[in-house]
């Protein structure tokens, strides 16, 4: 069985690594020891967040002396499925998967499971009939992120506002859950009306394009924009400026991620609120991989905590941002 193979390769390295931990700060595998090989199927590079997540996972692999086989799916689930098959063929010890969409993974993951390779989901969850197909999910609570933004909007507008929504990739976990959380939070405020909601693929370019269409259709009626991520919020900001409006003043702009480029605009007052969603998942992901390969139990889900930033706390945070 592959899992036994992984354990055979991994346990001596890990035990020796622990023994050496007191003399060295670098937990890299000792010279000559078999190196752990992990495949990472990444969605693509659609956003600042995604780039920071890739970086975090690559850095952490290097720090731990793990060989990382990185596959960029360029935004296509079929490429991620091909990557999973190729990781099986290459005989990796474990797989990290950031799944683009919620559905459509069972057959591919079954093949991986049959090869005895454990899968750790990072960033996004999947819907499956068989939860044993993956070991654990490490991600933020996307529903809560949407709720936090919805509550912020209700509070700041006294429960009366016309809002447009820039949604993430269709069928993806964050797009579904962030829409759900927001809708839930504003449900108690009939004065908050969602004038339009449309997918904009989590990218800045699409966010701008869709916002331009919203402005054409709704004009001055738009009082707020809720974007499912930073990049679309930044695209909306640009569209608003080009339409002669002052983002952050004439129209409230709200987003999720809170990475540096958007955070800087928050401090400048052009964005009004950002909910954090940390992409720094490398350490948690490899802790989980190592535990699973040692045969230790891991929780089915590890929640990454998020905070809300607005004009009240953004400036003091800016210099401390890690991403």
Edge-to-edge strand ranges of the sheet holding 37-42: 67-72, 37-42, 94-97, 119-122, 136-140, 301-304
Using an 8 Å Cβ cutoff, are 182 and 214 in contact? no
- Residue 29 DSSP code: P
Distance CA 109, CA 39 (A): 14
Residue with tokens 């070991």: 135
Which of the ranges 45-53, 59-67, 188-196, 245-253 carries the binding residues for ligand AHR, by CB under 6 A? Answer: 45-53
- Residues of span 269-298 touching ligand AHR by CB under 6 A: 277
Q: Is 256 in the site for ligand AHR (CB under 6 A)?
A: yes
Q: Is 206 in the site for ligand AHR (CB under 6 A)?
A: no
Which of the ranges 31-39, 44-52, 72-80, 148-156 carries the binding residues for ligand AHR, by CB under 6 A? Answer: 44-52
Q: Is 204 in the site for ligand AHR (CB under 6 A)?
A: no
- Residues of span 225-244 touching ligand AHR by CB under 6 A: 229, 231
Distance CA 312, CA 278 (A): 20
Q: Is 46 in the site for ligand AHR (CB under 6 A)?
A: yes
Which of the ranges 46-54, 86-94, 209-217, 315-323 carries the binding residues for ligand AHR, by CB under 6 A? Answer: 46-54
Q: Is 257 in the site for ligand AHR (CB under 6 A)?
A: yes
| Selected binder of ligand AHR within 54, 87, 97, 123 (CB under 6 A) | 123
Distance CA 261, CA 266 (A): 9
CA-derived radius of gyration, the chain: 21
Q: Is 47 in the site for ligand AHR (CB under 6 A)?
A: yes
- Residues of span 128-147 touching ligand AHR by CB under 6 A: none
Using CB under 6 A as the binding criterion, the count of chain residues that bind ligand AHR stands at 13
Q: Shortest distance, CB of residue 291 to ligand AHR, whole angstroms?
A: 23
Q: Is 100 in the site for ligand AHR (CB under 6 A)?
A: no
Distance CA 151, CA 148 (A): 5
Q: Shortest distance, CB of residue 169 to ligand AHR, whole angstroms?
A: 7
Strands 308-310 and 273-276: what pairing?
antiparallel
Q: Which residues contact 89 (CB under 8 A, 6 or more apart)?
A: none
Distance CA 262, CA 271 (A): 8
Q: Is 174 in the site for ligand AHR (CB under 6 A)?
A: yes
Using an 8 Å Cβ cutoff, are 175 and 169 in contact? yes
Q: Is 177 in the site for ligand AHR (CB under 6 A)?
A: no
| Selected binder of ligand AHR within 52, 124, 147, 208 (CB under 6 A) | 124
Which residues are near ligand AHR by CB under 6 A?
Answer: 46-47, 49-50, 123-124, 174, 202, 229, 231, 256-257, 277
């Amino acid at each position: 069985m592959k899992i036994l193979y992984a354990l055979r390769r991994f346990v001596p390295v890990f035990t020796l690594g622990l023994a050496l931990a007191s003399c060295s700060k670098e937990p890299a595998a000792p010279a000559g020891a078999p190196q752990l090989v992990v495949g990472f199927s990444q969605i693509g590079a659609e956003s600042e967040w995604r780039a920071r997540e890739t970086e975090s996972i690559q850095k952490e692999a290097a720090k731990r002396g793990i060989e990382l086989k990185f596959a960029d799916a360029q935004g296509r689930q079929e490429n991620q499925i091909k990557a999973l098959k190729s990781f099986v063929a290459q005989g990796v010890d474990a797989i990290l998967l950031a799944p683009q969409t919620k559905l459509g993974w069972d057959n591919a993951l079954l093949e991986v499971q049959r090869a005895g390779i454990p899968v750790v989901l990072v960033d996004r969850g999947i819907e499956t009939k068989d939860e044993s197909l993956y070991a654990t999910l490490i991600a933020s609570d996307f529903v809560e992120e949407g709720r936090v933004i919805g509550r912020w909007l209700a509070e700041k507008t006294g429960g009366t506002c016309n809002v447009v929504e820039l949604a993430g990739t269709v069928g993806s976990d964050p797009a579904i859950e962030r829409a759900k959380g927001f809708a839930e939070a504003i449900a108690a405020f009939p004065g908050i009306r969602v004038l339009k909601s449309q997918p904009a693929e989590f990218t800045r370019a699409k966010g701008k394009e869709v916002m331009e269409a919203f402005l054409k259709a709704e004009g001055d009626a738009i009082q707020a924009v809720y974007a499912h991520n930073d990049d679309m919020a930044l695209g909306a900001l640009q569209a608003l400026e080009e339409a002669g409006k002052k983002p952050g003043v004439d129209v409230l702009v709200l987003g999720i991620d809170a990475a540096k480029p958007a955070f800087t605009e928050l401090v400048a007052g052009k964005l009004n609120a950002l909910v954090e969603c940390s992409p720094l998942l490398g350490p948690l992901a490899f802790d989980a991989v190592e535990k699973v390969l040692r045969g230790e139990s891991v929780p089915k889900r590890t929640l990454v905590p998020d905070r809300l930033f607005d004009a009240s706390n953004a400036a003091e945070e800016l210099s401390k941002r890690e991403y």
